[in-house]
Amino acid sequence: MSGPRFGVGELALTVYNRFTENRGKIVILKEYLGKLNWPLIQEPQHVWVIECACRDTYLNYLYPRHREITRSSSGPMPECFLKRITPESGQAVLELFENSEDINFNEVTV
């Protein structure tokens, strides 16, 4: 396995998760954590910190040692559970702003 397929700021769709409720969520890739072991997957995987792009959207995480399921709008996820939405060329990578005043619409092209 080579380097990660994604980049920071890209959008992805969640697929192939243990919880069906986690599938089909649009997420933003926030930080690359490196190649890590992931439960029920034999080889180390490229893992990202992801954040749900839609307000009031959550992902379920199972922590076997604590025997509990938690809901969070952000957390780690292996690349193999993600499907690219943004083109590989890097075009259409979105930067989402906290304040809409930060966006200068004179500079935006589509």
**pLDDT score recorded for residue 90:** 52
Q: What is the pLDDT of residue 88?
A: 67
pLDDT in tens, 49-90: 999 999 899 998 887 677 788 899 999 999 999 999 877 665
**CA-CA distances (angstroms) from residue 76 to 61, 98, 104?**
9, 22, 32
Q: Radius of gyration (Cα) for the chain, nearest Å? A: 15
Residue 4 is assigned to a structural domain of this protein: no
Mean per-residue pLDDT over the chain, rounded: 81
Q: What is the pTM of this model?
A: 0.73
92: nearest Cα among 76, 77, 109, 75:
109
**pLDDT mean over 38-48:** 91
C-beta of residue 22 within 8 angstroms of C-beta of residue 60:
yes
| Biggest alpha carbon–alpha carbon distance for the chain | 51
Which is more confidently placed, 44 or 105? 44
Domain assignment of residue 64, yes or no: yes
Kindly state whether residue 2 falls inside one of the protein's structural domains: no
- Start-to-end CA distance of the chain, whole Å, equals 34
- 12 CB-contact burial (10 Å; exposed 0-12 / middle 13-18 / buried 19+): buried
Q: Is residue 57 part of a domain?
A: yes
Domain encompassing residue 68: 11-107
The total of structural domains in the chain comes to 1
By the 8 A CB rule, do 44 and 36 touch?
Answer: yes
